[in-house]
């Protein structure tokens, strides 16, 4: 089991990494290198030989390999990203890049997304070095840039240009999984991610006849775009259950003693109460209009209007998504992918999933582990290009009332010290037995 020094280090590393401002504003406006150098130095102190890699100056990734005891075993990728989303200091109770530790809580941007997991990985690796521990499988450790934008400078770059560093990796673990979900009725649920919806960020363009704002215009680009956006926003996507979501619903129904079958999903979700939150965003595709851009003067009808839509599709659901968007946009509006990434699905009957479940249950015996599909996406999408099956496993034991999901990209992001200690213990146990 991880020693006391590892528990102390995970808190210090989380705080130190938060203090390194790696805000990713998109469009290349980020510099992860100081955080990458910090992580690389901690790995080097543990006897590893980390490699620093950049596609763009300052957008730095770190990769290192730990040799396992069984050369015939497939390797496991353990990854976390170094960048964070922006934070407006005036909105926070503490400065978002202070890394302050107060009343048993570490505060700052990245505390849950995901410098906490980066720190857990570093603490476990260093604990192994001190105690002479080697895993069964080779472990490839990767800290990436640019996850909060396109990943072109991060996992996408690594997968496309440095695939050899991940030789032998068949599975990987990353963010968003094995955290405590309190259902309000005394149960603690630990969802482990075994799937992700695909990313379909769309650009819609309507063209029409430019003219004077005082004239009748039946070819108004703004009107055409508004009509399409309204149809998209109002559309009710049909239910589609993937194997991961079916497994999640079945296990939750069993946990609550609900006999409603999967042929009436809406009724089942109603009976699950707060626990429905774990699956309700992943039982269908979605498309949410988010940005509009048209015109330059109030009395001028523009010849073009543009909108952006955040679309997400289930594994196996992209063809339906595309056909539906063709229908909803209609003949007067064109759409194209602004950014696209694949949907993912991982088996929940695998040895690796079983080992993750066992590790959580060892340190949270009162907890109930269930699989779930993430509504968004992670670096696992890019690493899937290398044939790596991805799971979300960044364990945290959280107190009741701690709204973990709301802190992702939210104000006053923070993580309890005890949650970090739990994470190190669980991660250590899983990686030793994986």
**Which amino acids are annotated catalytic?**
83, 147
CB 192 within 8 A of CB 393: yes
CB 371 within 8 A of CB 194: yes
Residues 6+ apart with CB under 8 A from 294: 221, 222, 225, 302, 304, 305, 306
Q: What tokens were used for 67?
A: 């040799």
Integer-rounded Cα radius of gyration of the chain: 23
């Amino acid at each position: 089991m991880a020693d006391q020094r590892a528990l102390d280090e995970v808190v210090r590393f989380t705080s130190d990494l938060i203090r390194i401002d790696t805000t990713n504003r998109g469009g290349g406006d980020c510099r992860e290198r100081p955080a990458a150098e910090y992580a690389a130095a901690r790995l080097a102190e543990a006897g590893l030989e980390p490699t620093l890699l950049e596609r763009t100056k300052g957008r730095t990734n770190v990769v290192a390999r730990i040799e396992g005891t069984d050369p015939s075993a497939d390797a496991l990728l353990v990854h976390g990203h170094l960048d964070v989303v922006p934070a407006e200091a005036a909105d926070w109770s503490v400065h978002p890049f202070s890394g302050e530790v107060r009343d048993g809580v570490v505060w700052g941007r990245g505390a849950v997304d995901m410098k906490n997991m980066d720190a857990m990985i570093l603490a476990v690796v260093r604990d192994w070095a001190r105690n002479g521990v080697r895993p069964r499988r080779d472990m490839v450790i990767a800290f990436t840039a640019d996850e909060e934008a396109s990943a072109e400078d991060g996992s996408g770059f690594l997968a496309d240009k440095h695939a050899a560093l991940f030789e032998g990796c068949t599975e990987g673990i990353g963010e968003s999984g094995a955290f405590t979900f309190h259902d309000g009725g005394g149960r603690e649920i630990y969802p482990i991610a075994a799937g992700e919806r695909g990313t379909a960020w769309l650009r819609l363009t309507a063209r029409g006849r430019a003219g004077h704002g005082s004239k009748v215009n039946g070819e108004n680009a703004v009107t055409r775009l508004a009509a399409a956006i309204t149809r998209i926003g109002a559309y009710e996507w049909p239910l589609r259950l993937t194997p991961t979501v079916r497994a999640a619903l079945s296990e939750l129904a069993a946990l609550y003693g609900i006999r409603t079958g999967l042929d009436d999903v809406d009724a089942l979700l109603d009976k699950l109460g707060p626990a429905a939150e774990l699956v309700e965003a992943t039982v269908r595709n979605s498309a949410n209009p988010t940005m509009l851009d048209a015109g330059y003067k109030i009395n001028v009808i523009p010849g073009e209007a543009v909108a952006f839509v955040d679309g997400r599709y289930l594994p196996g659901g992209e063809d339906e998504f595309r056909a539906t968007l063709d229908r909803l946009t209609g003949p007067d509006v064109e759409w194209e992918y602004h950014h696209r990434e694949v949907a993912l699905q991982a088996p929940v009957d695998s040895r690796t999933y079983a080992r993750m479940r066992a590790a959580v249950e060892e340190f949270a015996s009162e907890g109930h582990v269930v699989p779930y599909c993430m509504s968004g996406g992670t670096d696992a999408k890019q690493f899937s290009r290398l044939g790596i099956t991805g799971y979300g496993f960044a364990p945290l034991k959280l107190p009741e009332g701690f709204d973990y999901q709301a802190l992702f990209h939210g104000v006053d992001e923070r993580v309890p010290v005890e949650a970090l200690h739990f994470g190190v213990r669980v991660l250590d146990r899983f990686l030793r037995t994986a």
